[in-house]
Amino acid sequence: MKRSHAPSAVTPAAMISCLTCATATLLAFGAPASAAPKSGNAFIPGTGTLIEYVSDDFEDESWTFTHNFPKSSREQDEQVRYPRGESSNDRWTEGPERGQPDQIQIVDAPAGALPGSKHALLLRTLHSGIPGYNSNDVQQDDLIADVIQRLGTSIPVGDRPSFTIRLYLPPFDQWEDRSGPHFGIRASASTMVTEKTGGFFSRTETNNEPYWPGMWIHFRSETSRNTKEDSAYIAVRANRRGQDYRALEISEPGWWTFGMSFTPDGMVHYYASPGVDELTAADHIASEFPYSYSALSFRTYFVDVCNQNNGRSWSTPFIIDDAKLYVMNSSRYENIVARKVQMEERRAAARAAAEERRTAAKQKQQQQRTASRRSSSER
């Protein structure tokens, strides 16, 4: 569908850091770069034990998100604005680097969703970037699964963690009219990096280094120069040089399934497939050591929503469903969850008992006041 308004500008020459919504576009509009060879240890995301405690199917109709505006924007201006936004089930949170999408809402699952799925989560944003400031460039907001807070630990890659998520891509005529990145499916991982510090008396330091591999959904708007029709593709973040590259064309919008897995050799494996069926080996699109890092721990998974931060242009209305975390060597995390659930049940029981005592005390006071009034009237 032709659009009457001019496209927003996103320059493909920009080289973007690993934190930002736009990608290292040196490869984004050219021929796809060759992915690293698939590791012999690669496994399909969704293999192992489901850790339901840090997953979400969005079927709870009471699910809500408290935004706690203004948003955080530490990446842009070093400001983390507490309290951060969070979901009512404590499974999702606003990240400290950037805020959460402006619209986070449970909706009816679009046609073609997983069998039995009635609800899913709509994500849209308008005011990305620094609160109150229209930067007129592409910015992003994040919705982060609160894995570390809920489990109390990251997951070593030796335990073979993975995650999967379903994503609904609306018809192309509903996308924000802008060529470039629109949505990200990401993970937070960490490794150890040794660097030299100081000047003449320099020394080396080894520090924990977080990084954020993932997949970006890029849109090619038909209103952009030299683009005949709307289309989209998946870009992988990132190769050893830190460059994003085009990995898979999206021939049709609708439901897609994405997943990432992490192996003991530190490699990251990327999978994507149209539809909502479980991923298979045929859905593997890349294996990488992003930025030449070898992952040591998986920290969490999250999604990104991008838009032109001009105060007028809403992001594309994406819908996610069935976000799930799996671990192959799962006994430690199953034990952690069991202890946490028991603790939560004890706390809930204690709160219920305290409420019963308060209610009983109020009833007793009311009975005493009623008896006192009767006694006074009889006299």
CATH of the domain at 165: 2.60.120
Could you tell me if residue 269 is inside a domain?
yes
Q: By residue range, what is the domain housing residue 139? A: 49-329
- Tens of pLDDT, residues 127-177: 999 999 999 999 999 999 999 999 999 999 999 999 999 999 999 999 999
pTM of the full structure = 0.89
Could you tell me if residue 10 is inside a domain?
no
Could you tell me if residue 342 is inside a domain?
yes
For residues 181 and 257, state if they share a domain: yes
For residues 231 and 305, state if they share a domain: yes
For residues 257 and 366, state if they share a domain: no
- Tens of pLDDT, residues 292-346: 999 999 999 999 999 999 999 999 999 999 999 999 999 999 999 999 999 999 9
| pLDDT tier at 37, thresholds 50, 70, 90 | low
For residues 334 and 370, state if they share a domain: yes
For residues 217 and 108, state if they share a domain: yes
Q: What is the distance, to the nearest Å, from the Cα of residue 307 to the centroid of all Cα atoms in its chain?
A: 16
Check the CA dihedral 58-64-66-70 and report its sign.
Answer: positive
Q: Closest Cα partner for 134 from 314, 312, 310?
A: 310
Mean residue pLDDT across the chain: 91
For residues 320 and 338, state if they share a domain: no
For residues 77 and 159, state if they share a domain: yes
First-to-last C-alpha distance (Å) of the chain? 87
For residues 195 and 221, state if they share a domain: yes
Could you tell me if residue 167 is inside a domain?
yes
Could you tell me if residue 353 is inside a domain?
yes
Q: Lowest mean pLDDT of 36-45, 49-58, 126-135, 151-160, name the range.
A: 36-45
- Residue-level pLDDT at 41: 86
Domains of the chain: total:
2
Omega before residue 70 within 30° of 0, cis: yes
| End-of-domain residue from the set 329, 355, 371 | 329
Could you tell me if residue 33 is inside a domain?
no
Could you tell me if residue 78 is inside a domain?
yes
Report the alpha-carbon distance of residue 47 to residue 344 in Å, rounded: 28
Residue 337 CB partners (closer than 8 Å, separation 6+): 51, 52, 53, 151
For residues 211 and 93, state if they share a domain: yes
| pLDDT tier at 35, thresholds 50, 70, 90 | low
Could you tell me if residue 293 is inside a domain?
yes
For residues 357 and 271, state if they share a domain: no
For residues 365 and 320, state if they share a domain: no
For residues 105 and 252, state if they share a domain: yes
The letter for the amino acid at 223 is T
SS3 string of the chain? CCCCCCCECCCCCCCCCCCCCCCCCCCCCCCCCCCECCCCCCCCCCCCEECHHHCECCCCCCCCEECCCCCCEHHHHCECCCCCCEECCCCEECCCCCCCCCEEEEEECCCCCCCCCCEEEEEECCCCCCCCCCCCCEEEEEEEECHHHHHCCCEEHHHCEEEEEEEEECCHHHCCCECEEEEEEEEEEEEEEEEEECCCCCEEEEEEEEECCEEEEEEECCCCCCCCCCEEEEEEECCCCCCCEEEEEECCCEEEEEEEEECCCCCEEEEEEECCCCCCHHHEEEEECHHHCCCCEEEEEEEEEEEECCCCCCCCCEEEEEEEEEECCCHHHHHHHHHHHHHHHHHHHHHHHHHHHHHHHHHHHHHHHHHHHHHHHHC
Cβ–Cβ < 8 Å for 176, 296:
no
User: What share of the chain in percent tops pLDDT 70?
Assistant: 89
Predicted confidence (pLDDT) at residue 378 exceeds the cutoff of 90? no
